[in-house]
Amino acid sequence: MNIYFGGPFVTNDLKTTPLYNACCQAGGRMVDFHGWLLPVQFQSIIAEHKAVREAAGMFDVSHMGQIWVEGKDAYPFVQYITCNNIKKDPSAGTYTHMLTPQGTIIDDMIAFCLDAEKFLIVVNAACRQEDFDWMQKQSTRFHVTVTDASDRYGMIALQGPQALEKLETLLPGIGALPRFHIQKVQLFGEEGYVTRTGYTGEDGAEIMLSPAAIVKLWDALLAAGVAPCGLGARDVLRLEAGYLLNGQDADQTRTPYEAACGWVVKLNKEDFIGKPALEKQKAQGVKQKLTAFELKGAGVPRHGCKIFYEGQEIGFVTSGTFSPLFKGIAVGYAQAGLTPGAQVEIEIHSRRIPAAVTKTPFYKNRV
Amino acid sequence: MHNAENSRYAKTHEWAHMEGDIATVGISNHAQEEISDIVFVDLPKVGQQVTAGQNCCVIESVKSASEIYAPVSGEVIEVNTALNNDPGLVNREPHAGGWLFKIKMTAPADYEALMDLSAYQTTIQK
């Protein structure tokens, strides 16, 4: 059997986060994730999943990107380069997609308004450079400055029903921050930001601090009994919660409508990049759509597994896993129009296993 | 009764323990630690012919699917049905109750080609 998921690595070839040593000390098994050396797991994926669903867990997400958009036109600029209607109430965040002129997805991101002339955009690690280059290119018509501040921050996602009470001990009052909002904080003598967001389907916060201060936060949370968690548990949690993984469930060949994210597209908004293409697609309808499946037999659906409906191959799994709560779950592109309950088959190791179309989220989140 | 010491090993991390012409097969403790969180074992069928070094069943962990290679050739005569309800047994007792299947060997020389425990341990990358 093939048991290794990478390693040992020549760390010179890979980027490390400020929490690399802390993760190694906590027993993290480090793997190459889009060029970053990050922990896939500590104790066990199932134990870490349980910690986040029932108590509190933390993830090193320092590889994620932070891009500042500042200047007189900051708000119209962010509105123009993304498809959701961006909130401009100070401290409000908006989940949105940045699209090509063809309406396909460059990246998904959260845009936080600090004030009408200052936005912090948190983007995926794998797209960070491309996102920044694209924003820079689009910014020439606007009075804005776009700055990639990713290297200034380490970032921890603290997630779970006990996440906020753990954070309260370090930042009294932080529990009053509303969902999807941002707050500037002072922690360990340094300035940073806390957002009440996450990628797990649980309540919690994401904390951005200087590389030195983020290590202190990790140690403090570890001492408070927060479980260190890896990419393995993160992927199970996000799939249960129905969150898209850009680069895997969506890319520059898929529009938000195809990626089952139509709610992110606000066609009644003024002009934005990709709008005409999406208006056209909305009128015509999509051929394929990201669809959720729950396996009815034993097995674990994985990326690339074929999907069959009435004996015909209709698509493939983009993300699949074993969920401790729901067993085999998957999302994949299939012909549009399949309704929840429709019976399909997913091919796993040359065997077709029955599955049913279902709705996301699989996990009815508390947030 | 099989244990880590009295078994022999393939470089692909399967172990075999021979009694007469019957080999009991499992995966090493090191292998279960690496893949962790085993959630499903797709066992071979009783009566199935297997060939040394070739894929004969699949272990699914949360993280990945791992193909198991038969360490010796022969016919599968028994599978560990306890794993259908408790696949985690492979994690907890890889060298005892978490065995996978038994092979009636056609070529006992296959067994001699496997490594002993200390030779196997020197092959494990750390």
Is residue A74, in this structure, part of any structural domain at all?
Answer: yes
pLDDT digits (tens, 9 = 90+) for A266-283: 999 999 999 999 999 999
- For residue B9, the chain A residue with the least C-alpha distance is A1
Nearest-CA distance from A305 to chain B in Å? 12
Lowest mean pLDDT among A11-20, A95-104, A119-128: A11-20
Q: Is residue A3 part of a domain?
A: no
Residues A49 and A110 in one domain: no
pLDDT tens track, chain B, 126 positions: 899 999 999 999 999 999 999 999 999 999 999 999 999 999 999 999 999 999 999 999 998 899 999 999 999 999 999 999 999 999 999 999 999 999 999 998 999 999 999 999 999 965
Question: Do A17 and A40 reside in the same domain of the chain?
Answer: yes
Chain A positions touching B12 (Cβ under 8 A) are 1-2
Q: Are B62 and B92 in contact (CB under 8 A)?
A: no
Interface touch A4/B68, C-beta < 8 Å: no
Mark whether A147 and A169 lie in a shared domain: no
Domain containing A108 equals 65-151
Same domain? For A144 and A170 the reply is no
CATH number at residue B73: 2.40.50.100
Burial classification of residue A278, based on how many CB atoms lie within 10 Å of its CB (0-12 exposed, 13-18 middle, 19 or more buried)? buried
**Interhelix angle for A45-54 vs A231-240, to 10°?**
50
> Within a domain: residue A304?
yes
Residues of B in contact with A232 (CB under 8 A): 62-63
Q: Which residues in chain B touch residue A322, judged by CB atoms under 8 angstroms apart?
A: 39-40, 60, 62
How crowded is residue A179: how many other Cβ atoms within 10 Å of its Cβ? 11
Longest dimension (CA), chain A: 63
For residue A12, what pLDDT band results from cuts at 50, 70 and 90? Answer: low
Map chain A to HEC letters. Answer: CCCCCCCCCCHHHCECCCCHHHHHHCCCEEEEECCEEEEEECCCHHHHHHHHHHCCEEEECCCCEEEEEECCCHHHHHHHHECCCCCCCCCEEEEEEEECCCCCEEEEEEEEEEECCEEEEEECHHHHHHHHHHHHHHHHHCCCEEEECHHHCEEEEEECCCHHHHHHCCCCCHHHCCCCEEEEEEECCEEEEEECCCCCCCCEEEEEECHHHHHHHHHHHHHCCCEEECHHHHHHHHHHCCCCCECCCECCCCCCCCCCCHHHCCCCCCCCCCHHHHHHHHHHCCCEEEEEEEECCCCCCCCCCEEEECCEEEEEEEEEEEECCCEEEEEEEEECCCCCCCEEEEEECCEEEEEEEECCCCCCCCC
| ipTM of the complex model | 0.85
A chain contacts of residue B14, beta-carbon cutoff 8 Å: 1
B123, part of any domain:
no
Q: Is the pLDDT of residue A1 over 90?
A: no
Which of A129, A151, A173 is a domain's end point? A151
Q: Is residue A164 part of a domain?
A: yes
pLDDT at residue number A367: 61
| pLDDT single digits (tens) A159-200 | 999 999 999 999 999 999 999 999 999 999 999 999 999 999
Chain B CB within 8 Å of residue A319 CB = no
Residues of A in contact with B27 (CB under 8 A): 1
How much of chain A, in percent, has pLDDT values that exceed 90? Answer: 92
Mean pLDDT, rounded, for A317-326: 94
Checking if the pLDDT of A4 tops 80, the result is no
pLDDT at A235: 96
pLDDT at position B65, please?
92
Domain of B96 in residue numbering reads as 8-110
pLDDT tens profile A67-81? 999 999 999 999 999
Q: CATH no. for residue A167?
A: 3.30.1360.120
Q: Residue A92: which of A66, A67, A118, A111 has the closest Cα? A: A111
Q: Supply the CATH number for residue A302's domain.
A: 2.40.30.110
**Is residue A50 in some structural domain?**
yes
Q: Would you say residue A10 has pLDDT above 80?
A: no
A298 touches chain B (CB under 8 A): yes
The answer to whether residues A175 and A133 belong to one domain is: no
Give the pLDDT of residue A131: 98
- pTM for this model (two decimals): 0.93
Inter-chain touch B40–A41, beta carbons under 8 Å: no
Q: Which CATH number fits the domain that encloses residue A144?
A: 3.30.70.1400
Q: How far is CA A216 from CA A40, A283, B44, in A?
A: 22, 52, 50
Q: Which of A126, A151, A176 is the last residue of a domain?
A: A151
Total domain count for chain A? 3
Chain A residue closest in CA terms to B15:
A1
Confidence of residue A364 (pLDDT cuts 50, 70, 90): confident
Give the count of domains, chain B: 1
A18 lies in some domain: yes
Verify that A159 and A54 share a domain, yes or no.
Answer: yes
Instruction: Look at the block and give the residue holding tokens 């802390």.
Output: A22
DSSP line for chain B: ---STT-EE-TTSEEEEEETTEEEEEE-HHHHHHH-SEEEEEPPPTT-EE-TTSEEEEEEESS-EEEEEPSS-EEEEEE-THHHH-TTHHHH-TTTTT--EEEEES-THHHHTSB-HHHHHHH---
Instruction: Give yes or no: residues A78 and A184 share one domain.
Output: no
Count of A-B CB contacts under 8 Å: 60
CA distance B71 to chain A (A): 10
What is the identity of the amino acid at A52? Answer: V
Q: Specify if A249 maps to a domain.
A: no
Residues whose CB is less than 8 angstroms from the CB of residue A301 and which lie 6 or more positions away in sequence, other chains included? A293, A295, A317, A320, A321, A328, A329, A330, A346, A348, A353, A355
Contacts of B94 in chain A (CB under 8 A): none
For A330, residues 6+ apart whose C-beta sits below 8 A from its C-beta are: A292, A293, A295, A301, A305, A317, A319, A320, A321, A346, A355
Average pLDDT score over residue span A340-358: 96
Question: What's the pLDDT score for residue B126?
Answer: 55
C-beta atoms of A45 and B62 within 8 A: yes
Residue of B nearest to A230 (CA): B63
Assigned domain for A175 exists: yes
